Amino acid sequence: MIFIGYKSLAKCPSKKGRKSGIFVLILVNFKILQDAFFLGFSPYLCPLKFKTLAPKFSKETYLYWYELMLLLRRFEEKTGQLYGMQKIRGFCHLYIGQEALAAGCMTATNPDDKFITAYRDHGLAIAKGITSNSCMAELYGKATGCSKGKGGSMHFFGLKENFFGGHGIVGAQIGTGAGLAFAERYRGTNNVVLCFFGDGAARQGMLHETFNMAMLWDLPIVFICENNHYAMGTSVARTSKTLDIYKTADAYEMPSDTIDGMSPEEVHNGVLRAVNRAREKGGPTLLEIKTYRYKGHSMSDPQKYRTKEELEEYKDRDPIDHVLRVLQTEYKVTDEEIEVIIERVKKEVEDSVTFAEESPWPDESELLKDVYIQQDYPFIMD
């Protein structure tokens, strides 16, 4: 193209025309070189190490991402400790390693948009605004918990925060998520639903039925597959012929994309594109966001199914380290400013433990409240 440009320039009769033509071609060349440079070093195409690029996101965005991800990480590290001390019981699945997903989704959505996810729900619930206090109290099973102490780790819920759980049945929330989106369309709002599920859930029948109806009705929903490469101890490669889960959307003519989930920037960009499409009545999108959990599936998992090297590869690309590096190198944020954030997060987590410890247990009268009972269910016998 540039060659043709120079050839046709040579034919230009006026000197002024030739001069401005050369100027334009220099600009075009510069842009091509610049694009090539950026693509060559973009974190997505060079996944093993982040190179700090001049960021297009503001300092405030990076500060928000840093504090949010640090809070999620510290909250769950404390959760792990408390589980070991048997302060927290029952099932418990940590989100550690997947925080960039929560961070990128938060900056790409509005507070009125609705989130629904599976049982690995602590990170998204806190990101959506459920307080650390009520999340920790829920983990303790206390009455002040976000589900009144009746749901535990897998069933966080916050109506006012637009967080619709926390679901223990793998894949069940995919259908419920479409139901939420249907309600938004029915009420004529401008809100979008973000429906999260794992790579394991992507193989459930519920996904296919839901994709079909969601496309038929053009629902305002973004399906987000958090592909952390394992369903319990089983890798995607052992359960699926294709490793590209995003291609599942093709059968329903649903737009789809695959995204680097260790980068909050990439998550933000991909989710924003899909959210905008849904808001502009363009219907659903499937995003396969590739991520990694640093801890086991739940609290007792010998992790024999993966190598230490694989884990270290992802830890090398830790999103919190990356965001901190951008803040320090590009925005010249000082160690003192960072220390203030670290201390604030530490205090929030410590306070949440005190709050949970001091909160009351649910009253016995709560036992059958908020529980769905079908009075004429044939198998209930007194």
Ligand X SMILES: Cc1ncc(C[n+]2csc(CCOP(=O)(O)OP(=O)(O)O)c2C)c(N)n1
Binding site for ligand X (CB under 6 A): 118, 120, 168-170, 198-201, 228, 230-232, 297
Helix, strand, or coil (residue 338):
helix
Is the Cβ of residue 297 or residue 317 nearer to ligand X in the bound state?
297
Among the candidate windows 100-108, 193-201, 209-217, 304-312, which touches Mg ion by CB under 5 A? 193-201
Cα(223)–Cα(244) distance, rounded to whole angstroms? Answer: 15
Contact between 199 and Mg ion by CB under 5 A: the answer reads yes
105 contact, one of Mg ion, ligand X, none, CB 5-8 Å limit per kind:
none
CB 98 within 8 A of CB 228: yes
CB of 127 to ligand X, least distance (A): 16
Span from 132-140, 173-181, 226-234, 260-268 in contact with Mg ion (CB under 5 A): 226-234
CA dist 155 → 125, 146, 151, 380 (Å): 10, 9, 5, 25
Instruction: Write the single-letter amino acid at 219.
Output: L
> Smallest distance, Å, CB 299 to ligand X?
13
Nearest CA to 263 out of 63, 65, 37, 60 is that of 65
> Is residue 291 involved in binding Mg ion (CB under 5 A)?
no
- Report the residue number whose CB is nearest to Mg ion: 198
Q: Which is nearer to ligand X, 168 or 362 (CB)?
A: 168
Q: What angle do CA 223, 123, 87 make, to 5 degrees?
A: 135
How many residues contact Mg ion, by CB under 5 A? 4
Cα 356 from Cα 135, distance rounded (Å) = 9
Among 117, 147, 153, 228, binds Mg ion (CB under 5 A): 228
Among ligand X, Mg ion, none, the one that 169 touches (CB under a kind-dependent 5 to 8 A) is ligand X
Among ligand X, Mg ion, none, the one that 2 touches (CB under a kind-dependent 5 to 8 A) is none
Adjacency order of strands within the sheet including 256-260: 114-116, 193-198, 221-227, 285-290, 256-260
Nearer to Mg ion, 131 or 227 (CB): 227
Among Mg ion, ligand X, none, residue 120 binds (CB under 5-8 Å by kind): ligand X
What are the residue ranges of helices labelled H in 57-171? 59-84, 99-107, 122-127, 132-140
How far is it, in rounded angstroms, from Cα 159 to Cα 321?
33
Task: List the single partner that 201 binds among Mg ion, ligand X, none, CB under 5 to 8 Å by kind.
Answer: ligand X
What does the block give as tokens for 268? Answer: 């933000």
Positions that interact with Mg ion (CB under 5 A): 198-199, 228, 231
